[in-house]
């Protein structure tokens, strides 16, 4: 198959093996007591920052303890706007390579100033893993391609399992064991749908809507569309989309909704309005959606299921535009700077 020539395609298709690896690693990891920390900061760059956003909201939802996400560059350059004195922090640093300059420097600064403890989530046994009191290293998530797909999903599984364990939610860990099986089913069942939307070059702009624990995921799939296809793409919270951005919706627009259970009626109302404006809407949800998970996994533990089909959509659009999805323009797999 021609698609198999691309590392990105192989990595998207094989990612559920990395999901299982992430579950195994997360279950065995030694983790501190959540009660030791007044605040938890998740940090990373690019996709890893969007993962941090998704993880921070999930951590606070599950544990009831304060958590927020900060780009590693901001944590390095402007820590006074983020960290308070004499507060016990837990820093969860996320990096595919474990070598991203801003992330490593931010962690070094955090440790040197005795701000608290560090947990690392990565795909390689490199700098970040060595600097952490505990590290979740998902080696099956390693990639050849530049744009994160398998790596992101594997680290998000690890972050989800981390949040569940810190909250004492062993029930969620048990439910997550079904994720690889459901993920394979989604990829096989909806690849043709992803191809149909992705190859339609009559669409010239994409908007990804997600709220709560899904907003960081909306940011990530937006980035995949932008990186791989050089298409105008933006993420928004559902209700925010009405406040200006909806002016861009027309017959050449795709609005993708990462639907929740608790706010389903409000989110569908937004999508119905965008459809009335001429936009093409695509929905992802547990059931009754264009892409239905049918997983019977609790909502807080199944977030990774939003990713594979939308990754495939970006892959097919990249090919349709004559681009190389493995090597997005102007990008490298690891960003290393002189700081």
Rounded to whole angstroms, the Cα distance separating 194 from 271 reads 19
For the chain, counts of helices (H) and of strands (E): 12, 10
User: Which two tokens mark 303?
Assistant: 């977030």
Output DSSP code: residue 120: E
Greater model confidence, 36 or 2: 36
For residue range 253-299, what is the model confidence (pLDDT) as tens digits?
A: 999 999 999 999 999 999 999 999 999 999 999 999 999 999 999 99
User: Average pLDDT over the chain, rounded to whole?
Assistant: 95
User: Which two tokens mark 208?
Assistant: 């990804």
Based on its alpha-carbon atoms, the radius of gyration of the chain, rounded to whole angstroms, reads 19
- Residue ranges of domains in the chain, CATH in brackets: 2-176 (3.40.50.10490), 179-320 (3.40.50.10490)
Q: What's the pTM value of the predicted model, to 2 decimals?
A: 0.95
Q: Is the pLDDT of residue 207 over 80?
A: yes
* Residues in contact with 269: Cβ distance below 8 Å, sequence separation at least 6, in sequence order: none
pLDDT of residue 72: 97
Average pLDDT over residues 36-48: 96
* Residues in contact with 168: Cβ distance below 8 Å, sequence separation at least 6, in sequence order: none
pLDDT of residue 328: 78
Tell me if 89 sits within 8 A of 41, measured CB to CB.
Answer: yes
Residue 1's pLDDT band (cuts 50, 70, 90): low
For residue range 48-60, what is the model confidence (pLDDT) as tens digits?
A: 999 999 999 999 9
Average pLDDT over residues 172-187: 98
Q: Is the pLDDT of residue 61 over 80?
A: yes
């Amino acid at each position: 198959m021609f698609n198999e020539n691309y590392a990105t395609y192989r990595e998207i298709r094989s990612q559920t093996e990395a999901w299982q690896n992430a579950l195994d690693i997360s279950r065995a990891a030694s983790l501190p007591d959540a009660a030791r920390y007044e605040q938890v900061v998740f940090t990373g760059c690019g996709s890893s920052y969007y993962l941090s956003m998704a993880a921070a909201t999930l951590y606070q939802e599950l544990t009831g303890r304060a958590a927020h996400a900060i780009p590693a560059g901001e944590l390095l350059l402007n820590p006074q706007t983020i960290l308070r004195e004499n507060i016990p922090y837990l820093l969860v640093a996320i990096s595919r390579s474990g070598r991203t300059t801003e992330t490593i420097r931010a962690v070094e600064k955090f440790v040197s100033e005795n701000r608290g403890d560090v947990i690392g989530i990565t795909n390689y046994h490199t700098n970040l893993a060595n600097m952490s009191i505990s590290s979740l290293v998902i080696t099956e998530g390693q990639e050849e391609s530049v744009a994160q797909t398998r790596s992101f999903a594997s680290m998000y599984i690890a972050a989800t399992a981390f949040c569940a364990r810190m909250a004492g939610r062993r029930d969620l860990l048990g439910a997550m064991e079904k994720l690889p099986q459901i993920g394979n089913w989604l990829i096989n069942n909806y690849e043709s749908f992803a191809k149909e939307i992705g190859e339609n070059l009559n669409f010239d702009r994409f908007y990804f809507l997600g709220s709560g624990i899904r907003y960081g995921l909306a940011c990530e799939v937006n980035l995949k569309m932008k990186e791989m296809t050089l298409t105008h793409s933006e993420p928004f919270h559902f209700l925010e989309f009405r406040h200006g951005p909806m002016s861009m919706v027309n017959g050449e627009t795709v609005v993708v909704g990462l639907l929740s259970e608790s706010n389903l009626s409000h989110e569908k109302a937004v999508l119905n309005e965008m459809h009335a404006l001429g936009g093409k809407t695509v929905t992802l949800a547990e059931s009754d959606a264009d892409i239905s998970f049918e997983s019977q996994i609790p909502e807080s533990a199944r977030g990774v299921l939003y990713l594979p089909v939308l990754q495939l959509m970006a892959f097919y659009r990249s090919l349709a535009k004559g681009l190389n999805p493995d090597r997005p323009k102007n990008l490298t797999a690891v960003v290393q700077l002189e700081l």
